[in-house]
Amino acid sequence: MFDEEPDDASAPLDRDALAKETKRRADLCLYGLPPFRTPDYEELRRLYRAYRHDPDVRRLILEIQCGRYAFSELAALAAECAWDVRKEPASLDDARKAFARLRRRLRKELDRIGQIHARK
């Protein structure tokens, strides 16, 4: 996945995009984290190749990608839940089953990643 050569050489950081993302995150105050530019897929591939001998960096990059796959899967499950609620005729049992699948998958992902923040 990340070991393949990119189609395009890695581009330098775009200052305008960074400024826009910084402002957007500051406006949202996302999770109390400092503003940062979210790495795209190609940047993650470049970093993965550049730090191929650092297992900690590789593990963090793989965790980011795993999280992205999980978000995609969870979005699909949520769409399935919405469809089960809106379909004609809508069955409460179908909706409950769909939401149960979504809850189980969310719980599995939360169990996989462990503690999210420091305990107060």
- Please name which of 14, 37, 13 lies closest in space to residue 25, comparing C-alpha atoms: 37
- Give dist(CA 63, CA 118) in Å, integer: 19
Q: Is the pLDDT of residue 1 over 60?
A: no
> For position 64, what pLDDT does the model report?
94
Q: Is the pLDDT of residue 3 over 70?
A: no
- The pTM score is 0.65
- Give dist(CA 103, CA 80) in Å, integer: 13
pLDDT digits (tens, 9 = 90+) for 77-119: 888 888 888 887 777 888 888 889 889 999 998 888 888 776 6
pLDDT digits (tens, 9 = 90+) for 4-60: 444 444 455 578 888 887 777 666 666 677 777 889 999 999 999 999 999 999 999
